[in-house]
Amino acid sequence: MSLRINDIAPDFTAETTQGTIKFHEWIGDGWAILFSHPKNFTPVCTTELGTMAGLEGEFRKRNVKIIGISVDPVESHGKWQDDIKTATGHSVNYPLIGDKDLKVAKLYDMLPGGAGETSEGRTPADNATVRSVYVIGPDKKIKLVLTYPMTTGRNFDEILRAVDSMQLTAKHQVATPANWKQGEDVIITAAVSNEDAIKRFGAYETILPYLRKTKQPSA
């Protein structure tokens, strides 16, 4: 069965470019993003890992750790990092999991249909990991799941935006509308009565009986 939002993120032990980790222990008390790519030394993946490296500081400000994974061995990850720096100008300082036995990829349902049992002889059509993203909260529960096809590079600014929304809504009884960005108006949830909305947020706008907007609460 596929993992779903609010499931506990499966724990695992794995070898990475920064040594052996136990996943839940590595996450600690903050947030984490686990994201997979199909194969080292390929064009789209090179741009993706470099882009994520460039955003690492923004995620760190939000207490979010980043970790990448593919079924390539750890040694291959290390060799590839020079190419990523050349292509994107960013150094990969976050760990990369070498999942050559497909253990984590299977645990997180990162393999396309028809995937093989090991990484040997793999092609992008069988047991390469698809472009999956899991955002995991401090409670070790899955907060967001995204899966992209192998030909489509991800928009990591969107993942950062989603993290902003999730962290905001975890603290306040609000939701965020379509295309919301940090600092814009938010939606008051149905769990908050009109009376409580005034106490919590002050002035708010009623667009429909079930759609009330207010200024973004401060952190």
Other Cβ atoms within 10 Å of 213 Cβ, number: 16
Helix (H, G, I), strand (E, B) or coil at 111: coil
Q: Which residues are catalytic?
A: 45
For tokens 């984590």, what's the residue?
104
Burial profile 146-172: b = 16 or more Cβ within 10 angstroms, e = fewer: eebebeebbebeebbbbbbbbbbbeeb
- Dihedral sign computed on CA atoms, order 160, 88, 26, 130: positive
- Is residue 118 within 8 A of residue 111, CB to CB? The reply is no
* Helices vs strands, H then E, count in the chain: 6, 11
Partners of 20 in the β-ladder: 15
**Within 13 Å, how many C-alpha atoms sit on residue 46's CB side?**
15
